[in-house]
Amino acid sequence: MASLRIMIVEDEPIIADEIAATVEDLGYTVAAKVIHGKDVKEQFVRCEPDVVLMDINLGKGPDGIQLAAEIKQVQHLPLIFLTSYSDKTTIDRAKQVNPDGYIVKPFDEKDLQVAIEIAFHRFEQLQKPAVEEKPETFLVNKHLFIRSKNKLVKLNPEEVIYAEAQSNYTLVKTDKDKFMLSTTLGIIEEKLLPFGFFRLHRSYLANLAKIDAIEEDHVLIGGEAVPVSKKQKQDLLNHITQL
């Protein structure tokens, strides 16, 4: 099994290097070291981490708590605050973004390892679909049936623009509507891949026929900018040239 990919957000380069060295000593992979708060969202999309270690005091601009709220809007992943702040005001603010851990510096590497392992384990458990008596999605004669508001809705896969993972739910966007399904993106992907869909990012599955443009770190599709990871962008370009 591949080691967990850890994104480190720390504005002090020396401390960032120390944290990175500890992370690697524990057997994990450093996905990115981010020094400047303004780069956090871009790097988060690009490096696709499994866990984020976030400092709170990041100098000028938004602090770690504000940035945590922003990246959780992009995708929910295990996020642990690693900070020297332990006052009640800061902790109360931090609780508002529901972190998966809070470690006060200086930290013990074993405490860090336990926090990372527990946070990622909890995240994995949340991704497992609940056992349901009725399937949320199924295919009949090349039509996708989805369960929405206690009824089955028939969709032509060509109508689907993209599907977005939101924890253990999936948002399906069509030309005219949106549907929130209590199933994982992986299950939706199995149904839609035969119909010209492509995984742009850990959290996004897109209809290739709906893509209007491919930019540096996103694609334009259905009037929206949807992130594409660096690796998937190259695979996407290769896939398109082979069509």
Overall number of domains in the chain: 2
Strand pairing report for 5-9 and 29-34: parallel
* Predicted TM-score (pTM) above 0.75: no
Residue 100 contacts residue 78 (beta carbons within 8 Å): yes
Do residues 162 and 85 both lie within one domain? no
Alpha carbon distances (Å) from 228 to 217, 236, 239: 5, 9, 14
Query: Tens place of pLDDT for every residue, the chain, 243 residues?
Result: 458 999 999 999 999 999 999 999 999 999 999 999 999 999 998 888 999 999 999 988 899 999 999 998 888 889 999 999 999 999 999 999 999 999 999 999 999 999 999 999 888 887 665 444 445 666 666 777 877 766 778 888 999 999 999 877 889 999 888 988 888 888 889 889 889 999 998 889 999 999 999 998 899 998 899 998 888 888 898 888 776
Residue span of the structural domain in which 98 resides: 5-127
Q: Are residues 153 and 103 in the same domain?
A: no
Same domain, 10 and 123: yes
Q: What is the CATH number of the domain that holds 202?
A: 2.40.50.1020
Same domain for 186 and 163, yes or no, is yes
Domain assignment present for residue 236? The answer is: yes
Same domain? For 166 and 100 the reply is no
Residues in Cβ contact with 209 at an 8 Å cutoff, skipping those fewer than 6 apart: 158, 196
117 and 11 in a common domain:
yes
Residue 102 buriedness (CB in 10 A; 0-12 / 13-18 / 19+): middle
Please check whether residue 178 is in contact with residue 171, taking contact to mean a CB–CB distance below 8 angstroms: yes
169 and 123 within one domain: no
Same domain, 21 and 74: yes
Burial class (CB in 10 A: 0-12, 13-18, 19+), 208: middle
CATH value at residue 13: 3.40.50.2300
Do 164 and 80 share a domain, yes or no?
no
- Within-domain flag for 132: no
Asked if residue 201 is part of any domain, the answer here is: yes
Same-domain check for residues 96 and 152 = no
